Amino acid sequence: MPCSTTWKSRRTRSGCSTSGEPPARHALGAAAPPPFPSSDAARNVMKIAVHTDAAGRPVSLYEDGVIHLYEGGGDRWSKIGEFAFALPDGASIPLVRGLVERVAASLRDCRTLISGDRNGYIYSLLGQEMGFSCWTSEGSVDDQLAMVARRQSEMTAGQGASACATAACASSGCGGRKAPACGPDVEVPPPKDLGGGRLRVDVAAVMRQLPGLNSRQILIPVLEGGAFSEIEVICDHLPRWFAARIAQLGLEYTSETLLGVGVVATVTRPAVQ
């Protein structure tokens, strides 16, 4: 299956209208789709991308579908563009990374995605390296947009610590009647205390529990907290920003890849000369 990134811009009022011709598909080697238009900051609108199948249901990015871009707020949303998305069979990691980077660039200032999954390499790239908040959801697109926008705003206002990132959404959906009410003060789990000033942060586990968070929101407060001698960080792969931030904080780290676990990085303070 060729990988498609052809962009098609159109605007519809609130809803998941899919009338009209579907976006044309091109091979992965084709030029990247042009970026969606940027929002005027004064309009105070939010952008959310939704990956769906032909029937308009949210599906995993590992399934062929279309990424729709909406902007708006509350119960008023407009579709401003869409492009087809499909991974080629047997795609290599560099190929997948390049595709995801092109998709992120095309979405420009949108960093919120709704789809039918949030596990695997693609979602790690989006969440840990590109700053996306990835949500799994069910129900009508209208309901999903309003619900995710509200919860994303709560997370932003609470700096990720008191936001409703909804572990419930990951299991029961964020749209329509299936989404249960969300508690107002769901805190990011603290690092596991291993004793002797040693801490452990399982980034992948936290992101499964709190789908709206990214690696920066999880790790930066711990790294800047100072009350540790060693931090063990477990993740699918090290975020792109990790090494530079460790150096900025005057810390050091080593890392290794463990089968069945992922990447384990050990952060320490330099030895005093």
Q: For 39-50, how does the pLDDT look when each residue is reduced to its tens digit (9 = 90+)?
A: 444 356 899 999
Statement: residue 207 has pLDDT above 50: yes
User: How many whole angstroms separate alpha carbon 169 and alpha carbon 188?
Assistant: 16
Write down the pLDDT at residue 67: 95
| pLDDT value at 69 more than 90 | yes
**CB-based contact 177:140 (threshold 8 Å):** no
Residue 259's region, left for phi above 0, alpha for psi from -120 to 50, else beta, is beta
Antiparallel, parallel or unpaired: β 192-195 and 252-258? unpaired
> 65: which residues sit within 8 A by CB, 6+ positions away?
51, 52, 53, 54, 59, 84, 85, 86
**Which of the residue ranges 35-44, 118-127, 186-195 would you say has the lowest mean pLDDT?**
35-44
Partners of residue 63 on adjacent β-strands: none
